[in-house]
Amino acid sequence: MQERFYITSLITLLVGLVTALLLFLFVSNSLKIEQRDTFHQQANNYFQSVEASLQASRELLVSLKSFIHSSENLNRESFEHFAASLLKDRDNIQALQWVPSVGHDRRKDFEMQATGQGFGNYQIVQGQSGSITVSAFRPQYYPVYYIYPVRGNELSLGYNLGSHPATLSALQNARDTGQAVMTAGVKLAQQQTSVWIYYPVYSGKSDPTAIAERRRKLLGFATIVLRLADLIAPASAKVATASDIQIIDLADQQLLYGVDAVPVQGEQHYQTTISFAQRSWLLTLQPRNAVRYSYFIPGITAFGALIISILAGLQFYQLNRAHYKISLEVASQTRALKLSEQRFALAVQGASVGIWDWRDIGKSQLYWSPQFYHLLGYRDAEIESNIEQFIDMLHPDDRSRSERLLALHFNQNTRYQIEYRMRHKSGAYLWFLGSGQACWDEQGKAQRMVGSIQKIDQRKKAEIESQTYAADLQRSNEDLEQFAYVASHDLKAPLRAIGNLALWIEENIKEHLDDESANYMQLLKGRVARLEDMLAGLLQYSRAGTNASQLELTDLNLMVANIVDLLAARQQGFAVNFNLPSIEVQQGLLNQVLHNLIGNAIKHHHLNAGEIQISYRMLSNEHIFSVRDNGPGIDPSMSDKVFQMFKTLKPRDEIEGSGMGLAVVKKLIERNGGRVWLESTVQQPGCCIKFSLPIPVAAVA
């Protein structure tokens, strides 16, 4: 028996030694493979990051070209504003440029025009940093005209890109092909290796197809400048191991970045080719130092296996004792699990949540909890629990929607949560919130699904009732507007008849009227005219905002000038000052609002002459307009009342008016999502009315 014990121990030790050796070899090889794969993955991520940065630069260039092509009056300010929005959070881009094509016969006029636009003593230059000179004669120049950011790129302004052979070749290639073309690596004004990507801009609505037509219609180039160091640096962070990086332009074997020679050796070496904008780069990545593999972990693994073998004999002794302890622990955990299940069941029952379990989705059998039956008015297992019964209890209008969401959940792992109606035992349909979650096998096929229903009948019915009230309120508002329109329209004829009768009576008895009667007659005609104005205002108010207009590019200066001429403001002694841009806005809406506000400013001015200032500014999500005059102003306590219907600040005997102008303005603005308010300050006399109109999301983007 003792000899058998020794033999068993020796066999156990020999098995442990062999196992330790095999584990050492296996773990060592696994670590080498893991390090190699990790490096290759990092290198691949690095190259993908570089390629993604290049593709993102192309998208920016397409946007810049579209902006330049669509701009009717391209200027420095608009270019910088648009370029700033493109370069937000893009640190790897050195600059965006507009490079026009300038013939020699236009050179002097072009330089004078640029100087007049605030570029200082603008000249077309050539050379490199430290030797910048005025550009020599060339039949065609390609000077940098607009650039953003200017700071750090001052030396590039006016630089003739056609003076360098590499950039000239790329310019001509882009011009003739109509495609984006990238240059070889160039050191120009900034003394750093950079590449230029040119995208030609042609005149006309569409790009020409023939080379001769492309050369004739060329306007210039939308240009992006990439400093290679800035392009490479962010991607280098993806490589944890210190590595030598080399980028070579395959067209002329030019070293763009990195050391002159990167040794290609060992398994931890990675190369790839990136083709972009008619150039191809060879990228190479090699660890800077030879990879040293650590044998610590394999050694520890082998040593552990040996120790395990030695201790294996002792383990037999512990098995029976451990088995007894585990039995006690299993019994304890079983009791705890039963308590947990009971606690969960009580919590679900108290929360009025019914649980269902579709154990095998390939079959129709379901499990319904007692609370599930109770919510539907049944006793436990009173009706059969299967998928057919479940669908039958769903409201017919909710079945297809539920089946569609269930299919999406199975196929696309979308969230399954739905509000539907289920038939109660009483026959009534009640609202429930249904939800569930499936589990899938390795092939992605749904195997099982567990879910719940929660009664939401009262909340859902209250929600439907609220929606009904909202619809009724909308119809009521529409009826009121229709009533206002009909009332104002149908009362015009009787009023006009009263006015005509008063006029005829006055003509017939004019010679017999005393002063008091004549005054009454004038008062009658004035009241009739006032009522006609009020009805016209009421009609205008009822129509306000009913005809929504489309957004269109509007010259605000032209619009305001037409309104001023229509109101004969200058003939009445009023100077209207404005300097406004062109924006995309609902032209009809804005025209009516400005007409009412400028007309009010003239009508209610306390003098025979005055000034009116129209101004505009754009925020991130809205247009802000203001109409300011130097009239008597409006008491701040009246700031809300002036926008009400039929409200005037002075008696109508002093200033005739319907009191509807500002009410119409308020309705028009608020119906289109804007706001209008009165602004008054002690420092500036007069009245200032401001209003806003939202900028559509598409326009902001």
- In this predicted structure, what is the pLDDT of residue 658? 55
Q: What is the pTM of this model?
A: 0.40
Q: Which of 134-143, 299-308, 462-471 has the highest mean pLDDT?
A: 134-143
Helix-strand-coil split of the chain, %, nearest 5: 50, 25, 30
Q: What pLDDT, in 10s, does the model give residues 143-168?
A: 999 898 888 788 888 888 888 887 88
**624-639: average pLDDT:** 85
- pLDDT tier, 400 (very low <50, low <70, confident <90, very high otherwise): very high
The packing angle between helices 492-509 and 457-490, to 10°, is: 20
DSSP state letters, 301-316: HHHHHHHHHHHHHHHH
8-state DSSP, 26:
H
583 φ/ψ angles, rounded to the nearest 5 degrees: -135, 165
Higher pLDDT, 618 or 474: 618
- pLDDT tier, 467 (very low <50, low <70, confident <90, very high otherwise): confident
Q: What is the CATH number of domain 551-700?
A: 3.30.565.10
- pLDDT tier, 285 (very low <50, low <70, confident <90, very high otherwise): confident
Higher pLDDT, 229 or 5: 229
pLDDT mean across residues, the chain = 79
Is residue 135 within 8 Å of 119, Cβ to Cβ?
Answer: no
**304-310: average pLDDT:** 71
CA distance 214 to 201: 9
Helices (H), 87-226: 107-114, 165-177, 211-217
Residues ≥6 apart with Cβ < 8 Å to 625: 590, 593, 594, 614, 615, 616, 690, 691, 692, 693
Q: Which CATH number fits domain 74-232: 3.40.50.2300, 1.10.150.310, 3.30.450.350, 3.30.70.100?
A: 3.30.450.350
Q: How many CB atoms lie within 10 A of CB 682?
A: 5
Is residue 138 within 8 Å of 160, Cβ to Cβ?
Answer: yes
- In this predicted structure, what is the pLDDT of residue 701? 47
Amino acid type, 572: Q
Topology (CATH level 3) of domain 351-455? Beta-Lactamase (3.30.450)
Higher pLDDT, 589 or 574: 574
- pLDDT tier, 99 (very low <50, low <70, confident <90, very high otherwise): very high
Q: What pLDDT, in 10s, does the model give residues 645-695?
A: 655 655 444 544 556 768 888 888 888 889 999 887 656 778 999 999 998
Q: How many CB atoms lie within 10 A of CB 296?
A: 9
Q: What pLDDT, in 10s, does the model give residues 193-205?
A: 788 899 999 988 8
Query: Among candidates 197, 215, 217, which has minimal Cα distance to 205?
Result: 217
Q: Which two tokens stand for residue 462?
A: 């209250």
